[in-house]
A = this chain, B = another copy of it.
Amino acid sequence: MSDYQPLTRKQQEIYQFLVKHYQNSDNPPTLDEICSALGLRSRGSLHKHIQHLVDAKLVEPSNRKQRGIRLTTSENTPIIENSKNNTIPYLGKIAAGQPLEAIADYSKIMIPTQLKTENDCYVLQVTGDSMIDLGIFNNDWVIIEKRNYAKNGDVIVALINNDEVTLKIIEQTPSKTILIPANKSMQPMHFDPNNVQIQGILVGQMRSYIH
């Protein structure tokens, strides 16, 4: 550990091959694969070089595991968080005058784990300025956790009169449901609780500045 040894020519060559390999693949190569890529015929001699890379802490020791040759830095550690798990349905634009369930043919969008919960989530794209005071702008995406309840002050997706879908702050009393825009120039709207159905609550937001 303290006896630092510079890499030899061959060790460099092998290390560079490994770095390159991981740019194209998450899978560690086998020794034989490295051999044939570098024109070697002996696994044995290759192994000794790799052992040096392990000593230099550039490669993690692969204890007899097949395909166990991995680079040490966090950068090259293959990330196999299952990208599938970070993918949730995109249900189109909000306030589009349609119940969400009606939208069948949706696509999927990958979402960072930080922006969603463990429960069922979906993505909507915001239309309009009713939430600008909360920093949610026209064309932003919002990540919504599917739910049919909320507490006062939550930002929710509401289905009004089985017709219009909207994103608002909710205040509920036994006799009334009030949907409050986060926009000083707009007025809260009062509804009969039976006419408002909660479709989910806000858990994340994203915006792209690229056009």
Binding site for B on A (CB under 8 A): 4-8, 12, 26-28, 57-58, 65-67, 71-75, 77-87, 89, 105, 107-115, 117, 120, 132, 135-137, 140-141, 155, 202-210
A66 and B204 within 8 A (CB): no
Closest to A25 in B: B82
Q: Contact partner of A109 among B57, B112, B132, CB < 8 A? A: B112
B79 and A83 within 8 A (CB): yes
User: A114 to chain B: which residues have CB within 8 Å?
Assistant: 109, 141, 206, 208
> Shortest Cβ distance from A62 into chain B, in angstroms?
11
With A and B bound together, what is the CA distance between A210 and B6 in angstroms? 36
A8 and B84 within 8 A (CB): no
With A and B bound together, what is the CA distance between A210 and B117 in angstroms? 8
Copies of the chain in the assembly: 2
Known: A27-B7, A82-B57, A112-B110. A205 touches B204 (CB 8 A): no
Taking each of A5, A74, A105, A141, which has the highest tally of chain B beta carbons within 10 Å of its own beta carbon? Answer: A74
> Shortest Cβ distance from A29 into chain B, in angstroms?
11
With A and B bound together, what is the CA distance between A27 and B66 in angstroms? 32
> Shortest Cβ distance from A202 into chain B, in angstroms?
5
With A and B bound together, what is the CA distance between A209 and B140 in angstroms? 15
